[in-house]
Amino acid sequence: MIRISSSSRSMASRTSITSRKQRIQNRNLVSLSSLDLWNRRNENTLNKSSDALLKSCSIRSHSSFISSSRQSFLFHEKSKQRIQQLPLRNTTLTTRNFTSSSILHSSQEIAEIHRLTHIRNVGVFAHVDAGKTTVTERMLALAGIVHRAGSVDTGNTVTDYLPQERERGITIQSAAISFNWHWHNSSLFKEEKSSDFNDEVVMHLIDTPGHVDFSVEVNRSVAVLDGAVLVVDAVAGVQAQTETVWRAMTRPSFNNHDTGLEKKRGDAHGHEPLPCIAFVNKMDKEGCNFGYALSTLKYKLQGANPVALQVPLFQVGQSKLDQESSLPKNIVAVPASDLKMNTLSHGTFVGVIDLIEMRAIVWPDVNASTVNDVEECIPSIYNLLSDEYQDSQVKDVAIQARQDLVASLADVDEAMEEYFLMEEDPTNNEIRTSLRTATLNRKILPVMTGAALRGKGVEPLLDAMADLLPSPLNRDAPALMNHDENYIQAKKAKKKNYSKDLIPFGHPLHPSLLALAFKVVHMKNRGGSGDGRVVFARVYSGKISSRDSVKVISPLLPGEKPEKARIERVGGMLELAGGRFDNLPEATCYSGDVCALVGLKDVTTGDTILLASNEKGKKKKSSKKTSANDSKYEASTGDECLAGVGAPKPVLTVRVEAENAEQESKLMDALRLMMAEDPSLMVEETGSATLLSGLGELHIEVVVDRLQREHGLAVWIGKPSVAYRETVQSEIDTGGLVEYDRTVGSTRMQAQVHIRLEPMETEASSDVSILTDPDVKLGSKVKEYLGFDEDDDELELSQRCEVAKALIAGCKGALKRGPLGSFELANIRCYVEEIDSEGGLTGLKAMPGTIRAAVSSIVATTLQNNKDSCSLLEPTMSVEVSAPSEMVGTVLSDLTARRGNVGEVIMGDDDALHSKALIHGQVPLKEILGYANNLRSITGGEGSFSAEYKGHSPCDSI
Helices then strands (H, E): number in the chain? Answer: 27, 43
Which pLDDT tens digit goes with each residue over 183-236? 877 666 654 444 444 478 999 998 888 777 788 888 888 888 999 999 999 988
Render the burial of 622-643: b for 16+ CB within 10 Å, e for the rest: eeeeeeeeeebbbebebbbbbb
DSSP structural state of residue 314: E
DSSP structural state of residue 226: S
Quote the pLDDT of residue 342.
59
Which pLDDT tens digit goes with each residue over 859-916? 999 999 999 999 999 999 888 888 888 888 899 999 999 998 888 888 766 544 446 7
Rg (CA), the chain: 31
CA distance 227 to 218: 13
Angle at 559 between CA 557 and CA 561, to 5 degrees: 75
User: What phi, psi does 172 have (nearest 5°)?
Assistant: -105, -40
- Give the residue from 822, 919, 922 showing the smallest Cα distance to 870: 822
Which pLDDT tens digit goes with each residue over 660-678? 777 888 888 888 888 888 8
Q: What residues have CB less than 8 Å from 565, skipping those under 6 apart?
A: 483, 551, 552, 553, 639
User: What are the beta bridge partners of residue 568?
Assistant: 550
Q: What is the pTM of this model?
A: 0.77
For the cut 80, the answer to whether the pLDDT of residue 150 exceeds it is no
Quote the pLDDT of residue 559.
54
Q: Check if the beta carbon of residue 189 is closer than 8 Å to that of residue 436.
A: yes
Quote the pLDDT of residue 765.
52
Which pLDDT tens digit goes with each residue over 772-783? 889 999 999 999
> Residue 510: what residue type?
H
Angle separating helix axes 132-142 and 458-468, nearest 10 degrees = 80
What average pLDDT does the segment 168-173 reach? 76
Which contacts of 192-198 are long-range, i.e. CB under 8 A and separated by 24 or more positions? Answer: 192/110, 192/113, 192/114, 197/68, 197/69
For residue 764, what are the CA distances in angstroms to 247, 899, 948, 951, 952?
A: 14, 19, 16, 8, 9
Q: If pLDDT is split at 50, 70 and 90, which confidence band does 810 have?
A: very high
Higher pLDDT, 192 or 816: 816
DSSP class per residue in 807-853: HHHHHHHHTTS-TTTSPPB-SEEEEEEEEE-TTHHHHHHH-HHHHHH
- Give the residue from 287, 277, 284 showing the smallest Cα distance to 371: 284
For the cut 70, the answer to whether the pLDDT of residue 401 exceeds it is yes
For the cut 60, the answer to whether the pLDDT of residue 130 exceeds it is yes
CA distance 159 to 174: 8
CA distance 506 to 519: 19
**Which of 72-76, 475-479, 500-504, 811-815 has the weakest average pLDDT?**
72-76
Quote the pLDDT of residue 75.
29
What average pLDDT does the segment 495-513 reach? 74
Which contacts of 703-709 are long-range, i.e. CB under 8 A and separated by 24 or more positions? Answer: 703/674, 703/678, 704/656, 705/164, 706/164, 706/674, 707/667, 707/670, 707/671, 709/163, 709/164
Q: If pLDDT is split at 50, 70 and 90, which confidence band does 98 have?
A: low
What average pLDDT does the segment 292-318 reach? 90
Q: Within 13 Å of residue 174, how many CA atoms lie on the same side as its CB? A: 29
CA distance 367 to 359: 26
Render the burial of 752-791: b for 16+ CB within 10 Å, e for the rest: bbbbbbebbeeeeeeebbebbbbbbebbeebbebbebeee
User: What are the beta bridge partners of residue 882?
Assistant: 918, 944
Q: Check if the beta carbon of residue 747 is closer than 8 Å to that of residue 721.
A: no
The 3-class secondary structure across 587-642, one letter per residue, is CEEECCCEEEEECCCCCCCCCEEEECCCHHHHHHHHHHCCCCCHHHECCCCCCEEE
> Residue 532: what residue type?
G
Q: Return the biggest CA–CA distance within the chain.
A: 102
DSSP class per residue in 681-713: -EEEE-SS-EEEEESSHHHHHHHHHHHHHHH--
Q: Check if the beta carbon of residue 810 is closer than 8 Å to that of residue 854.
A: yes
CA distance 423 to 751: 77
What average pLDDT does the segment 348-374 reach? 87
CA distance 808 to 675: 27
Higher pLDDT, 44 or 435: 435
Share of the chain above pLDDT 90, in %: 25
Torsion angle of alpha carbons 5, 11, 14, 16, nearest 10°?
Answer: -120
Collapsed DSSP state (helix, strand, coil) of residue 276: strand
Q: If pLDDT is split at 50, 70 and 90, which confidence band does 55 have?
A: very low
Quote the pLDDT of residue 65.
36
- Give the residue from 643, 634, 633, 593 showing the smallest Cα distance to 478: 643
CA distance 916 to 483: 55
CA distance 818 to 690: 22
**Which of 221-225, 337-341, 357-361 has the weakest average pLDDT?**
337-341
Collapsed DSSP state (helix, strand, coil) of residue 718: coil
**Which of 323-337, 705-719, 843-857 has the weakest average pLDDT?**
323-337
Q: Check if the beta carbon of residue 313 is closer than 8 Å to that of residue 331.
A: yes
Q: Check if the beta carbon of residue 884 is closer than 8 Å to that of residue 916.
A: yes
Collapsed DSSP state (helix, strand, coil) of residue 871: strand
Angle at 273 between CA 269 and CA 274, to 5 degrees: 120
Quote the pLDDT of residue 766.
60
Intra-chain end-to-end CA distance of the chain, in Å: 45
Q: Pairing relation of β-strands 721-722 and 652-658?
A: antiparallel
Collapsed DSSP state (helix, strand, coil) of residue 556: coil
**Which of 95-109, 257-271, 394-408, 828-842 has the weakest average pLDDT?**
257-271
Collapsed DSSP state (helix, strand, coil) of residue 291: helix
Which pLDDT tens digit goes with each residue over 908-938? 665 444 467 888 889 998 888 888 888 888 8
CA distance 127 to 945: 12
